[in-house]
Amino acid sequence: MLKNLFIASSAVVLVACGGGGGTTTPPPPPPPPPPANQAPVVASANADQNGQVGFDINYDATQGGTTFTDADGDTLTITVTFNPADNGLAAAGGTITGKPQRLNDVTVTVTADDGNGGTANDTFIINVGVDQNAIQAKFNGNIDLTNLPNYENPTIPAYITKLTENGNPVTNAGAILGRVLFYDTALSIDDTISCASCHIQAQGFSDIDVVSVGVLGGETRRHSMRLINTQYANEVNFFWDERAISHEAQETMPLQDFNEHGFSGTNGRPDINDLITKLEALEYYQELFRFAFLDTNITEPRLQLALAQFTKSINSFDSKYDSGRAQVANDTDNFPNFSASENAGKNLFLSPPPRGGAGCFRCHSAPEFDIMPNINGHNGIVAEASDPTLADFTNTRAPTLRDVVKPDGSPNGQMMHNGSKATLRSVIDHYNNIPVPVTEPERTQFLDNIDMRLVMMSSTPPSLNLSEAEKQQLEDFLKTLTGSNVYTDPKWSSPF
């Protein structure tokens, strides 16, 4: 093929020569071409530069006009492009300014254009690092900002569809700051209490004690809640009584609670601004806040965002229930990995009374097992933890029913807002026959404030009429909702 082409073009040349054979006057010589444009050239390439997350860069990529030369003296227009384009840098007239936002190195291409079609490019790299000297001194290698655990892209099963990010998605930089805050006793007035004093990883981020002890012996009013899968839920209000309007709003309330972290500003106690001043003096927070927020300002909203990112990141989806759920299309299908008793318990959980079901799904919905957002009454557990003769009708939220018990089957602390239930069986017995006060006015108040799903078709809660075998099935099923990784994964453990 190549050979044929060669012959063909030779033939054309021969014909042309023959046709031009000396019989006509040669055309006048063309005018001399204008002098060719001289393109600019790189005279002095930029060396690679160093930057740091959250620190201003101000660099003249023309190096005072010496980066490029142009032999015919054309005026050069300089443009700069960045790859990636979104790491906080901008340029005007060849001068680069801005703050790198993340650790990605930035490739900079500087282009000189002489306006006559001639261009030259100089490419160099801004190596983006991070200032973490104080962090490394404090945490002795437990935290390396250049090599963080993966908080921001967890593997979540496809059947988990609920996600309430509330405009504050988890990032690695925010979650690591939140983790340090969560475990830091400097966040209490006498340096004794951290969030983790009452939210213990080995207990599913709850507490063994019925009520928890904060600063100077102060006690909480209710039982500590497990902090698992909090963002894989529809209910946006937090605490047993839902008094916090969002996850973020909740996160600094313990700091300002007289009995918990103590920065209440009451009875001569310091307040949240004093806490902020205290944290500003700790150099590792200067570095962590700059890494997460690009400057060192510590504010209450930033404490909320970072603590919420850490607690939102805590997830548990490696239970026996999850391996079964992944193999079927619907929750109501029999799970191949379940025993007959576990499958029967699942049916009881997912079926409505009075036709043989226990109706739990009406308030704790599969597959997240989060509490339904529309509960408008109590579940029959009304005694105050501190004084059982007082009634508290306000508790309409519960943590996910995942990880109510540990992998060994023992509870992660007592259950319910008042910690009144020590075993799963006692919880099931409660729902099977909800005890209604017999005296007035307690009886009427109790029934006026109960969630109607527990009353159904009569003015008082009917018995679910579960047999002992059915109670055992329900208990066996509830135990399948427990994972294992969440109790030990170092990414949620203390960095101190």
Please enumerate in sequence order all residues whose Cβ is within 8 A of that of 384, keeping only pairs 6 or more positions apart, or say none. Answer: 221, 390, 391, 392, 418
The two structure tokens encoding residue 95: 């001068």
Q: Is the dihedral of CA 293, 297, 301, 306 positive or negative?
A: positive
- What is the C-alpha to C-alpha distance for residues 425 and 476, in angstroms, rounded to an integer? 10
Segment interacting with ligand HEC (CB under 6 A) among 71-79, 238-246, 293-301, 440-448 = 238-246
Nearest approach in angstroms of CB 131 to ligand HEC is 26
Please enumerate in sequence order all residues whose Cβ is within 8 A of that of 491, keeping only pairs 6 or more positions apart, or say none. Answer: 149, 150, 151, 179, 313
Counting contacts by CB under 6 A, is residue 353 touching ligand HEC? no
Counting contacts by CB under 6 A, is residue 362 touching ligand HEC? yes
Segment interacting with ligand HEC (CB under 6 A) among 24-32, 111-119, 333-341, 413-421 = 413-421
Counting contacts by CB under 6 A, is residue 402 touching ligand HEC? no
- Tokens 């990605």, residue? 104
Give CA separation, 243 vs 247, 307, 397, 472, in Å. 11, 18, 10, 35
Counting contacts by CB under 6 A, is residue 395 touching ligand HEC? yes
132 or 395, CB closer to ligand HEC?
395
Torsion angle, CA of 270/276/278/282, rounded to 10 degrees? Answer: 170
Please enumerate in sequence order all residues whose Cβ is within 8 A of that of 20, keeping only pairs 6 or more positions apart, or say none. Answer: none
Nearest approach in angstroms of CB 92 to ligand HEC is 43
Counting contacts by CB under 6 A, is residue 446 touching ligand HEC? no
The two structure tokens encoding residue 412: 């992660």
Nearest approach in angstroms of CB 206 to ligand HEC is 7
Omega of the bond leading into 35 within 30 degrees of 0 (cis): no
Contact 444, 495 (CB under 8 A): no
297 or 376, CB closer to ligand HEC?
376
- What is the C-alpha to C-alpha distance for residues 480 and 451, in angstroms, rounded to an integer? 27
112 or 427, CB closer to ligand HEC?
427
Q: Measure the N-to-C terminal CA separation of the chain; round to a whole number of Å.
A: 75
- What is the C-alpha to C-alpha distance for residues 11 and 15, in angstroms, rounded to an integer? 6
Counting contacts by CB under 6 A, is residue 404 touching ligand HEC? yes
395 or 480, CB closer to ligand HEC?
395
Contact 482, 405 (CB under 8 A): yes
Counting contacts by CB under 6 A, is residue 379 touching ligand HEC? yes
Nearest approach in angstroms of CB 251 to ligand HEC is 5
- Tokens 């529809």, residue? 234
Binding mask 193-232 for ligand HEC (x = CB under 6 A): x-x-xxx------------x-x-----xxx-xxxx--x--
- What is the C-alpha to C-alpha distance for residues 102 and 290, in angstroms, rounded to an integer? 11
Choice from 124, 238, 338, 446 touching ligand HEC (CB under 6 A)? 238
Quick count: other Cβ atoms within 10 Å of Cβ 100? 24
175 or 198, CB closer to ligand HEC?
198
Segment interacting with ligand HEC (CB under 6 A) among 58-66, 165-173, 315-323, 424-432 = 424-432
Binding mask 264-303 for ligand HEC (x = CB under 6 A): ----------------------------------------
- What is the C-alpha to C-alpha distance for residues 386 and 364, in angstroms, rounded to an integer? 27
Q: By CB under 6 A, how many residues form the interface with ligand HEC?
A: 54
222 or 320, CB closer to ligand HEC?
222
Choice from 451, 473, 486, 491 touching ligand HEC (CB under 6 A)? 451
Counting contacts by CB under 6 A, is residue 454 touching ligand HEC? yes
Counting contacts by CB under 6 A, is residue 179 touching ligand HEC? no
Choice from 305, 398, 405, 486 touching ligand HEC (CB under 6 A)? 398
Contact 401, 481 (CB under 8 A): yes
Nearest approach in angstroms of CB 489 to ligand HEC is 18
Query: Considering only CA atoms, which of 175, 330, 326 is closest in space to residue 251?
Result: 175
Choice from 135, 360, 434, 486 touching ligand HEC (CB under 6 A)? 360
Contact 78, 119 (CB under 8 A): no
Residues that bind ligand HEC (CB under 6 A): 182, 193, 195, 197-199, 212, 214, 220-222, 224-227, 230, 238-241, 250-251, 254-255, 260-261, 307, 311, 358-360, 362-364, 375, 378-379, 381, 395-399, 401, 404, 415-417, 427-428, 431, 451, 453-454
